[in-house]
């Protein structure tokens, strides 16, 4: 079957169908949509059918400028094209395709024997190319080789608020539960009971060099006693920290010194009050309950915690310098666990050098007196650190409880010779220390 070069248009899809001579007046199927197309029997002019394939090929090979022309779209074939200039007619079965104005030369149409023949693009290939070009154009992509690329679209900027949310939200999810946990622990942790200032005082005695931590609070010795804790009476026992305290008796007597400023065997010329106390170590550590600096005489700027209250007056110890004076029977030794010992506390003079026995003689026998004594109670945990601590214990007695010292009780030896006269000369200064 030889082609006649004529084309017929499919009314269903608009596809141009090439015809053969023997197909005129017949019905042929459309290769595109398989619809039946009736071919007219009338033969159109030769130049129209001759030039139509060349024009279709020229249109398919024509370069585009990045935007599809109106005639490139498939639906443009349904419009009526302008009348051709070479006098061609329009078929009754549809508008004739546009005819190329120039016919390629025979030399260009022919192919040399040594060259490979390049088939001319068909109408369907041209339509496919046009569709691809149109889609690329709508997508903003250039289809011209080497042509300028369209400007890239700017990337959208993320707002700062989104960045903050992205950073802070994970942190909040972690920190908020932690904060609630810490607050819960603080609210439910075991709280230490409130301790009266005089019940726990920093150790300023001989153990000061061995402290692992030193408190900074300075507690006045004149602080009022705890109102909820009654004083201890003679013969009663009281436990505080690692110490058990039992006041035994109060005696009026002259105090014997085991050592006084380089001399031995000396006693005071005046009577003073002596409190005898039994101490027991109830802890599992070894420590010294009593200390020489706890019971000393009053000096300006030095206010001991141990003193006897009589009205508005306070009577302190007899030892002026704990490094050169020792009273016989005033025990400062260490106690092993479950061991006990007896020691003495002395009240001699007040801040104006008034004598304690002169004030006692003015009181009725039923007068109640309070004697504060400072003792070391062991070690305790203060803010996570174990330190040596002392306490102030009030002891109550009445004037009629004071016992007179009997001469057969531990009489100190009298020094002789020049040493005796020297000590007697200094007896007044001992009984009235400045």
Does 97 or 261 have the greater pLDDT score? 261
Q: Give me the mean pLDDT over the 320-328 stretch.
A: 91
pLDDT exceeds 90 at position 374:
yes
Does 350 or 133 have the greater pLDDT score? 350
Q: What are phi and psi of 165, to 5 degrees?
A: -65, -40
Q: Domain-by-domain residue ranges, the chain?
A: 3-138, 197-431
pLDDT per position as a tens digit, 11-66:
888 788 787 777 777 888 888 888 887 877 766 555 444 444 445 444 544 444 44
Q: What pLDDT is stored for residue 376 in this prediction?
A: 94
CA-wise closest residue to 232 among 369, 331, 367: 369
* Average confidence score pLDDT of the chain: 74
pLDDT per position as a tens digit, 411-433:
443 333 333 344 344 443 333 33
Yes or no: say if 341 and 275 are a contact pair by the CB < 8 Å rule.
no
CA quadruple 41, 44, 48, 50: dihedral sign? positive
Between CA 317 and CA 273 the distance in angstroms is 9
Lowest mean pLDDT among 127-131, 253-257, 389-393, 419-423: 419-423
14 sits in the region (left: phi over 0; alpha: psi -120 to 50; else beta) called left
* % of the chain exceeding 70 in pLDDT: 62
Yes or no: say if 405 and 251 are a contact pair by the CB < 8 Å rule.
yes
Q: What pLDDT is stored for residue 309 in this prediction?
A: 95
pLDDT exceeds 80 at position 117:
no
Q: What pLDDT is stored for residue 226 in this prediction?
A: 85
Q: How confident is the model at residue 189 (pLDDT cuts 50, 70, 90)?
A: low
Lowest mean pLDDT among 67-81, 235-249, 300-314, 350-364: 67-81
Lowest mean pLDDT among 111-115, 125-129, 315-319: 111-115
pLDDT exceeds 70 at position 3:
no
């Amino acid at each position: 079957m030889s082609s006649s070069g004529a084309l017929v248009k499919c009314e269903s899809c608009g596809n141009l169908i090439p015809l053969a001579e023997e197909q005129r007046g017949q019905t042929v199927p459309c290769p595109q949509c398989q619809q039946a197309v009736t071919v007219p029997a009338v033969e159109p002019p030769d130049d129209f059918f001759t030039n139509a394939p060349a024009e279709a090929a020229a249109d398919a090979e024509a370069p585009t400028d990045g935007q599809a022309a109106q005639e490139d779209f498939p639906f443009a074939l349904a419009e009526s094209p302008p009348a051709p200039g070479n006098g061609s007619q329009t078929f009754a079965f549809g508008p004739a395709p546009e005819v190329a104005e120039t016919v390629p030369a025979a030399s260009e149409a022919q192919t040399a024997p040594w060259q490979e023949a390049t088939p001319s693009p068909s109408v369907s290939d041209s339509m496919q190319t046009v569709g691809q070009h149109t889609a690329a154009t709508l997508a903003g992509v250039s289809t011209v080789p080497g042509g300028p690329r369209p400007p890239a679209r700017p990337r959208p900027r993320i707002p700062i608020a989104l960045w903050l949310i992205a950073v802070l939200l994970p942190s909040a999810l972690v920190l908020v539960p932690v904060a609630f946990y810490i607050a819960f622990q603080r609210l439910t942790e075991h709280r230490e009971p409130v301790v009266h200032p005089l019940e726990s005082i920093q150790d300023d005695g001989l153990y000061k060099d061995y402290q692992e931590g030193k408190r900074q609070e300075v507690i006045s010795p004149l602080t009022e006693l705890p109102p909820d804790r009654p004083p201890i009476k003679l013969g009663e026992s009281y436990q505080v920290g690692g110490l058990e305290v039992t006041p035994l008796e109060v005696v009026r007597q002259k105090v014997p010194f085991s050592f006084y400023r380089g001399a031995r065997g000396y006693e005071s010329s005046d009577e003073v009050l002596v409190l005898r106390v039994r101490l027991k170590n109830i802890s599992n550590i070894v420590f010294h309950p009593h200390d020489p600096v706890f019971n000393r005489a009053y000096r300006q700027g030095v206010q001991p915690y141990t003193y006897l209250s009589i009205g508005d007056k306070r009577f302190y110890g007899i030892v002026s310098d704990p490094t050169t004076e020792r009273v016989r029977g005033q025990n400062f030794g260490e106690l092993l666990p479950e061991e006990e010992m007896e020691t003495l506390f002395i009240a001699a003079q007040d801040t104006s050098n008034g004598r304690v026995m002169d004030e006692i003689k003015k009181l009725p026998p039923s007068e109640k007196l309070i004697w504060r004594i400072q003792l070391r109670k062991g070690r305790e945990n203060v803010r996570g650190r174990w330190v040596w601590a002392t306490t102030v214990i009030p002891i109550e007695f009445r004037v009629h409880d004071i016992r007179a010292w009997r001469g057969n009780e531990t009489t100190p030896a009298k020094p002789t010779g020049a040493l005796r006269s020297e000590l007697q000369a200094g007896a007044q200064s001992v009984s009235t220390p400045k």
